[in-house]
Amino acid sequence: MSAAAEQTVLDRAELDPAKAPSFPVAALPVLRNVQLRKNVAHAIDVIQAKRARLVAEKTDWQALRAAAAAIKDHVLENLGAYLEQFEERCTAAGGTVHWAVDAADARKIILEILREEKADEVIKIKTMTSAEIQLNPFLEAAGVRTYETDLAEIILQLGEGEPSHIVVPALHVNRSQVREIFARRMGIENLSDEPKALTAAARNYLRQKFLLVPTAISGANFLIAETGGVVVVESEGNGRMCLTLPRTMITLAGIEKVLPRFQDLEVMLQLLARSATGERMNPYTSLWTGVTPGDGPQKFHVVLLDNGRSSILARKKERQTLRCIRCAACMNTCPVYRQTGGHAYGSVYPGPIGAILTPQLEQLRHAQSLPFASSLCGACYEVCPVKINIPEILIDLRAQVTDQERKTAGKFFDPMYVAMRAANLIFSRAWLFHAAQKMGRIGSRFLTRKDGWMHSLPSVGAKWTLTRDLRGLPRQTFHEWWAARERGAK
């Protein structure tokens, strides 16, 4: 067997919402991939169990959630003022603040900084925002090599795969796949598939990069308006390496990441690690403010990214989407995500939060199938550390998508919308309703089997009976039975 035939090819997934297939289409291949579903289920079972134990030991968990939601709502209501304050303080501390309207704007700003630095390679801390603006392919095309430094991101970068989770992006890849990718791309013979050996391989692979590459890119978990500080939460120390060793640091942050005061971290840090990885605190959390002489990068840039976020602010109900602190607790608990994994969502933000965030960031031009990728069971709302009522927003977005579709030319004669208009007419007039019941009883007689169920309906009805049966209409309606009973009593 040739070496090429053994190569692990991670499933290629399209995570650009503008190009991705709809959720039901994208979910099908995953549902048939038993190994991938096993990997996903194992990973989220482990995180869920740890999270549940640590949340149970916090007696003030609900008060923390309420405080976090209140702080975030307050920020969003005063977003402009807090961003300007952050800009002023960060600048005073020696940082440079840039503003980006959209993904293209942000990519351009970052490339300009890199050109100024004459950088032909950068080291990166895991950032979903960078994936959102598809920064890596853009930089590679412009001749800048990017080195992801988070273990999961290295696995995906070397294996040419895509993230399927926002906290543990490679949870769909198992150890033997990682072993094969590392052995081939790092040129290591006789590499064991023990996670310990694989982690050591990543450490060696990156050590020299950390010491030599002078430019780094990060995301941000929080921006502090009061001080101009930036916070990055991580586990491995790759973040600290990137924040400490290079000459120049570029941080890309969504505009919703700002917190009013330093002290607000006492709420957020208690919630984040417990929700995300089931730890009381993640191993390393770093805060820095502009530039500190003699310690860390002496040039610091922050790029504040809008890219659709300001449009979410306008709708009062949907605004809470921007409270999200990216802990992934919602996807870990979601019965749909558990079956499909992250790639089916066609976005770097999968799971319940992705189902509401992606269509809104796209301003409903794409990803319209995502609000329907939910059973509305409410588990995501229950675990959310900032109390985002995801089911409520899902329903609201469903209505918006339906309105959009209904008004599309060519949908007027769509059997479903014809049926809906007919139903609207019938349900609002009692005489028509009773007549329709009689007609329906006659019509459905031919479709109802001996067991009293309809197994297959024609036309649009087939969409229903494809996956479940429909109970046949009873011989007598409740109204008829009631009237007969009254007559009998007399």
Partner 1 sequence: MNAVASSREQVLGRIRAALRGGQNSAATAEQAAEAYVGLARDYTMRGELTVRACQERFVERLREYDAEVTECAPEELGSTIAALLTASGRRIFVAPPGLPAEWLAAGFEWKIDQDLPAKEIEKADGVVTACFCGVADSGTIVLHHSATEGRRVITLLPDWHLCIVRASQVVETLPEYFDRCQVSGIRGQVSGFMDHGSGIRDEVAGSLPSLVTWISGPSATADIEMTRIKGVHGPRFLNVVLVRDGEQGPGNRE
Site for partner 1 in 75-134 (CB under 8 A): 77-85, 93, 98-101, 105
Binding residue for partner 1, selected from 215, 221, 282, 358, defined by CB under 8 A: 282
Residue 477 host element (H or E): none
Determine, following the binding rule CB under 8 A, whether residue 270 of this chain makes contact with partner 1: yes
Determine, following the binding rule CB under 8 A, whether residue 71 of this chain makes contact with partner 1: yes
Q: Which of residues 303-332 bind partner 1 (CB under 8 A)?
A: 304, 306, 310-311, 313-314, 316
Q: Nearer Cβ to partner 1, position 265 or 373? A: 265
Q: Which residues contact 6 (CB under 8 A, 6 or more apart)?
A: 180
Do residues 259 and 265 touch, judged by C-beta distance below 8 A? yes
Determine, following the binding rule CB under 8 A, whether residue 245 of this chain makes contact with partner 1: yes
How far lies 270's CA from each of 66, 131, 264, 280, 415, in Å? 13, 26, 10, 7, 52
Q: Which of residues 214-243 bind partner 1 (CB under 8 A)?
A: 226-227, 229, 235-238, 240-241, 243
Determine, following the binding rule CB under 8 A, whether residue 196 of this chain makes contact with partner 1: yes
Determine, following the binding rule CB under 8 A, whether residue 248 of this chain makes contact with partner 1: no
How far lies 288's CA from each of 26, 295, 328, 485, in Å? 41, 10, 25, 79
Applying CB under 8 A, the site for partner 1 has a residue count of: 96
**Residue 453 DSSP symbol:** E
Please state, as a whole number, how many other Cβ atoms lie within 10 Å of the Cβ of residue 34.
Answer: 8
Nearest to 24 by CA among 417, 466, 400, 469: 466
CB of 296 to partner 1, least distance (A): 6
Residue 231 host element (H or E): strand 229-234
Binding residue for partner 1, selected from 27, 64, 327, 344, defined by CB under 8 A: 64
Q: What share of the chain is helix, strand, coil (3-state, %, to 5)?
A: 55, 10, 35
Residue 96, Cα to own-chain centre: how many angstroms? 29
Q: Nearer Cβ to partner 1, position 294 or 488? A: 294
Q: Nearer Cβ to partner 1, position 2 or 59? A: 59
Q: Nearer Cβ to partner 1, position 40 or 473? A: 40
What is the residue type of 80? G
CA separation for the pair 35, 20 (Å, rounded): 23
Judged by CB under 8 A, the stretch of 8-16, 260-268, 417-425, 461-469 that binds partner 1 is 260-268
Q: Nearer Cβ to partner 1, position 211 or 422? A: 211
Q: Nearer Cβ to partner 1, position 174 or 465? A: 174
CA separation for the pair 95, 223 (Å, rounded): 13
Binding string, residues 380-409; x marks residues near partner 1 by CB under 8 A: ------------------------------
Judged by CB under 8 A, the stretch of 144-152, 386-394, 420-428, 463-471 that binds partner 1 is 144-152
Q: Which of residues 162-181 bind partner 1 (CB under 8 A)?
A: 168, 170-171, 174-175, 178
Q: Nearer Cβ to partner 1, position 47 or 353? A: 47
CA separation for the pair 372, 26 (Å, rounded): 14
Judged by CB under 8 A, the stretch of 6-14, 115-123, 277-285, 376-384 that binds partner 1 is 277-285
Determine, following the binding rule CB under 8 A, whether residue 42 of this chain makes contact with partner 1: yes
Q: Is 206 helix (H, G, I), strand (E, B) or coil?
A: helix
